[in-house]
A and B are shown apart, each in its own frame.
Chain A
Amino acid sequence: MRELLQLLTACIGALGFALLYNTRGINVLFAAVGGLLGWAAFLGAGVLWGPNDYIGGFAASVMLTVYAECMARIRKTPVTVFLVCGAIPLVPGAALYRAMKYLTAGNIQMFREQSAYALLFAASMSAGIMVTTIIFRLCWSFIAKDAKEKRRRI
């Protein structure tokens, strides 16, 4: 139940941000699906490899980046449009908030724990985006037969 609710809210959150960043037309929906897929991968990784949030964050951003790169080529739109909105649910806002709350309350032990979590989660998410972008573009340059298609800026 909680998982379903999270999937739904991740989707709505990504949709909201797509609109706040002034996305127009059908791309708004595709951006929202990105948020949903990313969180689905997070939950899926939890089922497959046990509850490790860092692996989940990595899996989520791998999934999201593959989706965004594919959509960018299909829709002939910059990757940013799909990637950025879908990545919003993966931003560790809650951990950051708690870290600062413990810091101001003088609870250094918990501050360390929460800020390390926020930092590592952000790092694993960025690692996922990077690794996937590089590998995807490498593969794409082999797949795209047409030289013009290859050079096209996405």
Chain B
Amino acid sequence: MPGLTRQEAERYLYYAMEIGEAMLLCGAEVGRVEDSIRRICIAYGARRVDVFTITSSIVTTVYGEEFLSCTQTRRVSSMKNDLSRLNALNCLSREICEKKLSAEEIASRLEAIQSTPGYPFPVQAALYAVVSAAFCIFFGGSWEDMLVSAAIGVCLKFVESFLQKGSSNPLLIALLCAATGGLLSNLAVSAGFGNSSDSISIGNIMLLIPGMAFTNSIRDIFSKDMITGLVRFVEAVVLAIAVALGFTFANFL
């Protein structure tokens, strides 16, 4: 196979980066992102690929006989856990390595993956209720607490989506959501619904605690991606403390 021209190399690298960035956004481990980009570039004939990824940035340089070297970087700013998209991207990158899809084909496949919608808002609100109710019982709440916790879970979804329109700071959003949750649970108990505001809040707190970030950070640390692992770990811990503090804030009032 003849070497890639400069233009082709840049184009394929662009799509490899596009896939890597999308994976990172859905909550993939850094190792997976680096591995995917490397495999795609090598499949298209790069002689050597150097990828460096941390939570907020991807840098890739590919080397080849004809185009010498080519570097692209990405600044990755936000993050939204989406496991079905991650799965689809993973399948796409495997397929690219096996079949060497053309650039147009990759573009249209990526477009299709990116435009798959999430679950609609009412379903998500219902899920917040179900998760709160489940963990309220799980940590030993009563049935009455469970109902109140579910109702507050739905409220939290509304508050969260309202706040997300105004701010992109996850720490602030989590803190305000948590404070609202704590306030509502105290109000509910003093109005005579539910037995213990603690049990109610414990059900709600599980919604906001960054379980996925925590699990991923541990996996990152032990797959030698120390920087990302530590950054994600600290993020998760700070967020968890903010959430827990937010819920107890109402006790001051």
Contacts and interface: CB of A to CB of B under 8 A. Distances in A.
B222 A130 contact: yes
A17 B138 contact: no
Interface string B229-253: 0000000000011001101110110
B84 A23 contact: yes
Contact of B28 (A6, A24, A80, A101): A80
B216 A84 contact: yes
Interface in B24-54: 27-29, 32, 35-36, 39
A22 B201 contact: no
Interface string A93-131: 110111111011100000000000000001000100110
Interface residues of A, number: 48
A105 B29 CA distance: 38
A22 B84 contact: yes
A152 B91 CA distance: 11
Contact of A20 (B36, B127, B214): B127
Interface in B135-160: 135, 137-140
A17 B244 contact: no
A106 to B, nearest CB: 11
A62 interface: no
Q: SS class of chain A's interface: helix, strand, loop or mixed?
A: helix
Nearest to B137: A9
Contact of B130 (A6, A12, A96, A130): A12
A8 to B, nearest CB: 8
B119 A12 contact: no
Interface string B70-84: 000000000001111
A88 interface: yes
B27 to A, nearest CB: 7
Contact of A100 (B91, B214, B219, B241): B241
A78 B202 contact: no
Nearest to A151: B39
Contacts of B252: 104
Interface string A2-44: 1001100110110011111111100100000000000000000
A16 B212 contact: no
A53 to B, nearest CB: 13
Q: SS class of chain B's interface: helix, strand, loop or mixed?
A: helix
B117 to A, nearest CB: 9
A109 to B, nearest CB: 17
Given A78-B87, A104-B252, A21 B218 contact: no
Contacts of A152: 94
B131 interface: yes
A129 B215 contact: yes
Contacts of A133: 219, 222
B135 A23 contact: no
B219 A93 contact: no
A126 B218 contact: yes
Contact of B214 (A23, A27, A77, A91): A91
Interface in B80-134: 81-87, 90-91, 94, 118-119, 123-124, 127-128, 130-131, 134
Interface of A: 2, 5-6, 9-10, 12-13, 16-24, 27, 76-78, 80-81, 83-85, 87-89, 91, 93-94, 96-101, 103-105, 122, 126, 129-130, 133-134, 152-153
Closest 8 CB pairs of A and B: A16-B131, A100-B244, A9-B138, A12-B134, A13-B134, A9-B134, A24-B84, A126-B218
9 contacts: A13-B206, A17-B131, A19-B119, A19-B123, A22-B118, A87-B211, A96-B244, A97-B205, A129-B215
